[in-house]
Amino acid sequence: MKSRRSLSLAGGVLVVAGAALVIFAMRRDGPNDLPSADWREFRSAFISRDGRVIDTGNGGISHSEGQGYGMLFAHAYSDRRTFEKLWQWTRTNLQTRPNDKLLSWQWSDNGGNGRVTDANNACDGDILVAWALTRAAKTWGVFGYTQSALEILADLRRLALVEASGSTFLLPGVEGFRKEEGFILNPSYYVFTALRELDAAFPGAGWGELSAPGRELLSQSRFGKWQLTPDWVFRADNGIVAIAPGFPPDFSYNAVRIPLYIAWEDPDSPLLAPFAEFWKKPSEGGALPASVNLQTDAFGPHPALPGMLAIAKLTQACVAKTPITLSDIPPVKRSEDYYSACLKILVKMAILESRKNLSGGQES
């Protein structure tokens, strides 16, 4: 169904109700193409020959998140061969839990004797992989991908969702996050576009029902001078949300994805405003930080990764309703780590895909 908002495309600029919001760059790759050089660099620097995505900024481990991002990228770049290698490695090395089809979240090379080093799942990794499989099944017509996505999602629903106050919430993992008087949540695990697409692909499964509680969680999870969302929150059974005890009280490497996932699905969302304001103020007096303590308002010791700066740029453009193009986001470089490179490509995907999301999936 068409959005009620007025949409037009003029000179490569998406205009929403008369205001330039998101535009896509006219590059040699084509107006609707992600820059091919980014994928060549990412694939060469971070994907092994057998399909393992290597987290170069985290001791060279691999994890379900990385495999999910890699599969999403391979699909976005129409690289079916790499997609299949990534999925085969994931299935062989991470989908090894004895009682379900969820993915062990962490794998280490272990000096050439690679093995799972943490068998607990990470629900965002499971969602990302299922999302990538669902997109690939639609594009390439592979029923096996659909079946594998359904298996992951069925166990995710069975084991990792929790009911509270009439709403359903996504736990970060199956084990360790249910507490006596509530539960721990990771707000950055709410990948809103994935939830919408999974809901459309599998009607009646209820994945779209997670979005509204997720947005409400974000509106309640605002702390510190800048009213930012921390990496980890505790939601008590009485509905009160607090910074999770026992976790760093930081807006940092996890939570930085929150405005990305919001903007990808809804560039007009008022939930973006605190993030845009935070990134505006520090930039007036120096480098943006990679983290901020939401109890003391102190900046962490490290500057923001280039991929974090890309999210900041996207967020500020959405809130200010100013144009942003693919060329505004720097290319992936071998010198940066895996996570920064991932964030850059995700931002570029969001810039391209938000145009279709705003128009209800139809061109105008």
Which residue type sits at 210? L
Catalytic site residue from 124, 231, 250, 266: 124
3-state secondary structure of 317: helix
What is the 3-class SS of 84-148, one letter each residue? HHHHHHHHHHCCCCCCCCCCEEEEECHHHCCEEEEEEECHHHHHHHHHHHHHHHHHHCCHHHHHH
Whether 124 is catalytic is yes
How big is the chain, counted in residues?
Answer: 364
Closest CA to 199 of 191, 208, 190, 209: 208
Kindly report the CA angle at 55 between 51 and 58, in degrees rounded to 5?
150
CB 206 within 8 A of CB 154: no
**Annotated active-site residue in 65, 197, 250, 265:** 65
Contacts with 1 (C-beta within 8 Å, 6 or more apart), sequence order? 360
Cα–Cα distance, 24 to 31 (Å, whole number): 7
Structure-token pair, residue 39: 């994928």
Q: For this structure, is 268 an active site residue?
A: no
Give catalytic residue positions: 65, 124
